[in-house]
Structure 1
Amino acid sequence: MSVSFGTAELMSVAATLGWASGLRLYAVLFLTGLAGRYAGIGLPEGLHWLMHPLVLGASGLMLLVEFLADKIPGLDSFWDMVSTLVRVPAGAALAAAVFGGDEAGWAAAAAVLGGSLAATAHAAKSATRAAVNASPEPFSNWGLSLAGDALVPSMLWLVWRDPVLAAVALGVLTLAMLLLLWRLAWHLRALAARLRRALSGAASDPVSPP
């Protein structure tokens, strides 16, 4: 399927690639390259490198590694921490590559948008998984991981089929993630306040004589 998008549609593609990179970077690299090489998706010129067999092989291997690491409580949070150095700049770079080097202004805007959305998605994912890891049962962790495995390909498919609808869906998902981060921050502040009160009360209790 060959596509010809205008600037608004390309910005939707850039935003979606950036956001999805914050959740599953290697899935974005592999599936986008695979779609361009074998599914007839007309990728923007700046993304043609994703279709190279070596890139597909490397991104496919890392996709498998990330898939397995994301299913193990504790290891998933460590993987997220390490991936902080990769997901956000990669999301910005992919978003900018949608416009290539011929439209520097739009490419720069896309990089800012893609990097910001990647950071939001990565922060929401990392914070949620860290909170869920406090639970001794693994099923909620696996459920969240599988949801991410399904959500990223779904958004990539949608943005090539209907970039306007993808932009709407992306706006809803981003808002939900921001609300989730706000809620988690509120719980952390409440927990810290209770801890300070407990420590303050313990320090003020008189010491009983022996």
Structure 2
Amino acid sequence: MGDTVLACSAGVRSGPATGDEETRGDEVELLPLVFTSGWASGVNAYATVLLLGLFGRFLGVEGIPAALERTDVLLAAAGLYALEFVADKIPYVDSGWDAVSTAIRPTVGAILGLLIAGHSGDLDQALSATVAGTTALASHAVKTGLRFAVHTSPEPVSNVAVSLGEDLSVAGALALAVTWPWTAFTLVLGTLAGGGLLTLVLTRRVRRGYRRWRERRHQILEQP
């Protein structure tokens, strides 16, 4: 019984071990998947739910919560993702969408962490929800900050390119998380740290540029 519980909590099929070579395609280690799904939720929560559900339902990936594989959940996630796909590529509309998503993305991340923890016990579920929710909030903050900097560019191409890059990053990170979870964990951690640093640098530059613009405008208005 104890072995079965441990197998469930780690996202591994119960039963006799058959070797890493036979189970690697189906096993998903808990912590990397929780962390990566949290990061992905902060970037695009609906795409994360949709992709995880598809992985579990059609690819047979273990460790994916059964609730995500339901048809109604997949259809709802697909519809909301389609809506975000459009809104996220329109300058300033994406900022409004991000503002609304400030509560949604971390909440979805926390729920995913809770579900992924599965039968691992209340403490592990609480920890997983906290890790995923916090990571989602952090990646959402980085995304919002980068978009603020991108909006200073006059052409809309930058906004579309950044949005497409985010979508591809979410898909790639989740695909990696269900095949090479610790590799995904390392890459996502580096991306989150690098994105945070880049956001700080760009935000400071934008603020300095805005202050200089206000000073020049003030000087022009004061001229007789």
Query: Alpha-carbon deviations, 1:124-178, whole Å to 9, x = none?
Result: 1111112212222011111101101110010000000011111111111111122
Question: Which segments of 5 or more consecutive residues in structure 1 lack a partner in the other structure?
Answer: none
How far off is 1:195 after superposition? Answer: 7.8
Identity of aligned residues (%): 35
Partner of 1:113: 131
Partner of 1:14: 34
Partner of 1:25: 45
Aligned mate of 2:96, from 71, 78, 88:
78
Report the secondary structure of 2:178's partner residue. Answer: helix
Q: Distance in 2 between matches of 1:105 and 1:32?
A: 24
Partner of 1:133: 151
- For the 8 Å contact 1:120–1:177, the answer to whether it is kept is no
Matches within 5 A, 1:60-75: 60-75=78-93
RMSD: 2.3
**1:150 correspondence with 2:168:** yes
What TM-score comes out, normalization by structure 2 length? Answer: 0.79
Partner of 1:171: 189
Aligned length: 198
Partner of 2:27: 4
Aligned mate of 1:96, from 90, 95, 114:
114
What TM-score comes out, normalization by structure 1 length? Answer: 0.84
Partner of 1:37: 57
Q: Distance in 2 between matches of 1:54 and 1:33?
A: 11
AA matched with 1:146: L
How far off is 1:192 after superposition? Answer: 7.4
AA matched with 1:37: R
- For the 8 Å contact 2:36–2:185, the answer to whether it is kept is yes
Q: Distance in 2 between matches of 1:192 and 1:132?
A: 14
- For the 8 Å contact 2:145–2:203, the answer to whether it is kept is no
AA matched with 1:36: G
AA matched with 1:181: T
